[in-house]
Structure 1
Amino acid sequence: MLDIPSSVRVDVEALLAAQNHMGVCDALEQYAPVGKPDAMTAPHLPKVAGIDSTVPPPAHTVAPASPAPAPPSSPATPGTPGAPGAPGALIQDRLAGWVSDLTTLHELTERLARTAVLDEALHEVLRAGAALVGARRGLVVLEPADGLGPDTTVGLGLARADLGHIETVPRGATSYGRILDRADGTDEPEVHADLLSENGLDPRHREVATRLGYAASFALPLATEAAGRLGAAVWLYDEPAEPVERQRHLVGLYTSYATEHLARLLELERARTKSRTLAEELLPPRLPRVGGVQLAARHRTGPRGGGDWYDALPLPEGALGLAVGSVTGSGASAVAAMGRLRASLRAYAVMEGEDPVAVLSDLELLLRLTEPARSATALFAYCEPALRKIVMAGAGHSPPLVIGERRTEFVETSLSAPLGMLACWEAPSVEFSPEPGETVLLYTDGLLHRTGDPMDRAFARLHAAAAGVPRTIRDDPGAIADHVLHTVLPDGLDAADSDEDVVLLAARFE
């Protein structure tokens, strides 16, 4: 409770006068007793939500004098200081309520501001709104008015099957449907205090409400002037109910801020989706089928899109070309450069794939002439599955890993600078033969960088993950790649937003 001196004798009408833009000082004077005033300083409220809430002293109002104490035998009467219904206590309670509301809004908006992913933000909006309006369940329907998506529905306290039942209700009979389909663009809420007793309620809506056990709903639009209507939020009550005016005011303030935050995350999600789609389209849509070898690939793209890539292409006489690489930079320019580099390597591999050094030499010359400001790493392996023979060359790239029953070891490759770093690139190739049942794992440096460890520890972690592949999945290159990925990058690090792309290409030789 705020510490307001008991000498302040003011009725709540003074506060209402201030709210109605009346002279608050005149309203205070109305209740000031006649007599000589004593000096008084204005109370200082604590800071709330980063706002200095110090109340300045009135400019033309004096504090009332302290009244004489009532005789011991006289009971306190309403309107006197210390009485339970004193006006000072009323305004003190009202101010304390305002402070509490500001504090609540500050905490909820701070929690929302910490969300960086659209789906996480939608769940946070549902939880905060439910706390403000006193509901237990709810759903958000995201359906941007510009038609560019993404369209999704997120529930609070509702399983996926429950959301499916709600979606079977005709759109025009639902609160979110009426909000999203409004032609006048108004932002009024949809309130149904006693849903099941309403006349004209759609029979399917009544059936779903009875099945899911909700009897009332309160819905608000999620709209901004810049982005238009993004969607609608609906909160469901187990019993007939509706939020009071104070709750409506608070949730309205919260959703106004939340919608702006959602609009920013929506644009970010769209940019990520475009970059991810572009990167995926520039990679092989499917891996080739070549006798004597099984292939599997895993690709994780960062939020801005990066230049990590892989390739597997059939070559003449039953041979197979495997490649992984990484282009410096991120964003659309790096993705485009990656596409050009991969297409060029495919052409060189078809012409002279049996000589990996020549393939990378041609690629280095092309990169130096066409994109002198960019560098790249690459590894190309010419495989003859029938002979289980691999000839490989690398340019500044991490060595592949051989995973088998009797060994788990890195392939010894020669040290070489990345492409575009030297006036003329050339390094010797290496040749090795995997045993039957062994898997050769090619990867990009993003797998190591995402661990956050120094490179020596990251390599040790990768080796331990490969050595720990269960025997039951050693005949499945996809399962091997998944095990290594999730072991090296546990707790969702493989899916978390990162500036580093991750590529794994596994080839198991029969």
Structure 2
Amino acid sequence: MNAPHPPKVAGIDPTVPTPTHTVAPAPPAQEAGPAPDAPAGTPPPAAAPDAPGSLLQDRLAGWVSDLTTLHELTERMCGTSVLQAALEELLRAGAALVGARRGLVALEPGDGLGPRTTVGHGLGRADLGHLETVPREALLTSTADLLAEPGLDPRHREVAARLGYSAGYALPLATDNARLGTAVWLYDEPAAPDEHHRHLIGLYLRQAAEHLALLLEVERTRAYAATLTGELLPSRLPRLPGVQLAVRHRTGPRGGGDWYDALPLPDAALGLSVGSVTGSGPGAVAAMGRLRASLRAYAVMEGEDPVAVLSDLELLLRLTEPARSATALFAYCEPAARRITLAGAGHSPPLLIGERRTEYVETSLSAPLGMLACWEAPSVEFRVEREETVLLYTDGLLRRTGEAMDRAFARLHSAAASVPRALRGDPGAVADHVLATLLPGDTARGDEDVVLLAARFD
């Protein structure tokens, strides 16, 4: 039997049935018989309708409807994997449960470690800006009728009139062990959720807060990994006559071991390197930092011989990181002559982007560092035309496409060839165009680091 439609509460659109309560079981009905004074043969009177049984069925149906709604909303929340998306889902679900059109959540972890952010639902950027000017304790408080509130903060009254809301319903976001913040939903007219809807939103927030606490830890871990990786990579690229440099780096969610470097060398030369250490997490990041620092030292001593640089790096890797392997590419550039000598160890070839050609540089096949007892591969020398760009990258750029490697290489070539002529004079714009074309928006798959190092020769 269907549950009865709940009555409309002021300002509330009841999307969930009203609460029901258990009813004490009725005593068993006695079998009906003819009245004592009825003449013989008179049929017994008709039994009264089973009203208690009907009411119980309606209430059971209401409970089932409530549980189904909460299950669906909780499933949608658990399907989020990013903190921002989870907060937006919480506001949408809460708005449906309490019948509000707008709302906001202020994430303010009680441990003070952040991140602190405010996310709105049905509110524009300017609206959130106005709400940020209201004192927190006034904004994040339940108020059934703002105009009738005697001690209402004047700024709160002014912002409420500007945005057109008249009531708010606030609830804390907290687990058993941590306070996460506060959520508040705003009504266009004086209103408040009834007891039933308050009970449902309380149950939902209890489960949602646990999921938010997990995503908060993931977000912090990602931020720590990105910060650590950033500290181990160059804070800025060098400026040398005859060459312009730009880099784009995306850190994976678990923190990977991809690196890049650009190092001025004697005789007005320039050393460029990209590489990747196997694994992810803090261990891979630390190994990446050690290898990059060592490669810089080897480049200063013998940078004109890229094979010797990578050979020394391979020996160091086998002695200090025997359980790891790494791919690497080192290029010794002479900007005045536009000549490049490079060697690669299991790394993808550079891509030349120019007015008359877009092609991969042919490099010899070689194993990654740490895979063989002794690494060795011949170097390759080539010249760059004036106003051409050399694009060095890590394999994460190809893997994030989700394509097979041959298909990913073809897509990268197509993205580089499609760089508009107006952008080719800026290596940063070239790298941005390649990234946007190859990994548009949030469609990129995978969690590998991505590095693009672009060098344009004048």
**In the alignment, is the contact (CA less than 8 A) between 2:105 and 2:118 conserved in 1?**
yes
Letter in 2 for 1:81: P
CA distance in 1, matches of 2:136, 2:443: 39
**In the alignment, is the contact (CA less than 8 A) between 1:305 and 1:501 conserved in 2?**
yes
Per the normalisation by structure 2, the TM-score is 0.91
CA distance in 1, matches of 2:216, 2:422: 42
CA shift for structure 1 position 164: 1.3
CA distance in 1, matches of 2:106, 2:147: 22
Q: Does 1:472 align with 2:440?
A: no
CA distance in 1, matches of 2:22, 2:175: 33
CA distance in 1, matches of 2:442, 2:187: 35
Pick from 317, 328, 337: which aligns with 1:378?
328
Q: Does 1:298 align with 2:234?
A: no
Q: What secondary structure sits across from 2:328 in the alignment? A: strand
**In the alignment, is the contact (CA less than 8 A) between 2:258 and 2:277 conserved in 1?**
yes
Q: Give the root-mean-square deviation of aligned CA atoms.
A: 1.7
CA distance in 2, matches of 1:87, 1:223: 40
**Seq. identity, %:** 75
Q: Does 1:241 align with 2:155?
A: no
Letter in 2 for 1:255: L
**In the alignment, is the contact (CA less than 8 A) between 2:338 and 2:385 conserved in 1?**
yes
In structure 2, do the counterparts of structure 1 residues 16 and 367 end up closer, same or farther at CA, with 3 Å as the change threshold? closer
Letter in 2 for 1:205: H
Equivalent residue number for residue 204 of structure 1? 155
Residue-by-residue CA offset, 1:272-328 (whole Å, 9 max, x unaligned): 111111111111111111111111111111111111110001111211110000101
**In the alignment, is the contact (CA less than 8 A) between 1:450 and 1:493 conserved in 2?**
no
Listed as ranges, the matches of 1:481-492 within 5 Å are 481-492=431-442
Listed as ranges, the matches of 1:284-363 within 5 Å are 284-363=234-313
Equivalent residue number for residue 104 of structure 2? 139
Q: What secondary structure sits across from 2:267 in the alignment? A: helix
Q: What secondary structure sits across from 2:152 in the alignment? A: coil
Equivalent residue number for residue 416 of structure 1? 366
CA distance in 2, matches of 1:379, 1:406: 25
Q: Does 1:28 align with 2:5?
A: no
Residue-by-residue CA offset, 1:160-215 (whole Å, 9 max, x unaligned): 2111111111233222xxxxxxxxxxxxxx43111111111111110000001000
CA shift for structure 1 position 90: 2.8
Equivalent residue number for residue 81 of structure 1? 49
Letter in 1 for 2:199: H
Equivalent residue number for residue 116 of structure 1? 81
Residue-by-residue CA offset, 1:86-125 (whole Å, 9 max, x unaligned): 4443333222211111111111001001001111000000
CA distance in 1, matches of 2:119, 2:271: 44
Equivalent residue number for residue 148 of structure 1? 113
Letter in 2 for 1:216: A
Q: Does 1:169 align with 2:143?
A: no
Moved over 6 A (4+): none
Q: What secondary structure sits across from 1:287 in the alignment? A: coil
- Unaligned regions of 5+ residues in structure 1, if any? 4-14, 19-23, 38-66, 71-79, 176-189
Letter in 1 for 2:176: E
Residue-by-residue CA offset, 1:6-52 (whole Å, 9 max, x unaligned): xxxxxxxxx8565xxxxx4xx321xx322289xxxxxxxxxxxxxxx
CA distance in 2, matches of 1:244, 1:134: 10
Q: What secondary structure sits across from 2:332 in the alignment? A: strand
Per the normalisation by structure 1, the TM-score is 0.82
Letter in 2 for 1:196: L
Equivalent residue number for residue 12 of structure 1? none
Deviates most, 390-399 or 446-455 = 446-455
CA shift for structure 1 position 225: 1.5
**Aligned pairs, number:** 432
Q: Does 1:126 align with 2:91?
A: yes
Pick from 457, 465, 471: which aligns with 2:407?
457
**In the alignment, is the contact (CA less than 8 A) between 1:81 and 1:88 conserved in 2?**
no
Residue-by-residue CA offset, 1:394-432 (whole Å, 9 max, x unaligned): 111110000001001110111111111122222111111
Highest RCO, 1 vs 2 (Cα 8 Å, sep ≥ 6): 2
Equivalent residue number for residue 61 of structure 1? none
Residue-by-residue CA offset, 1:350-385 (whole Å, 9 max, x unaligned): 111111111111111111111111110100001111
CA shift for structure 1 position 452: 1.8
Equivalent residue number for residue 14 of structure 2? none
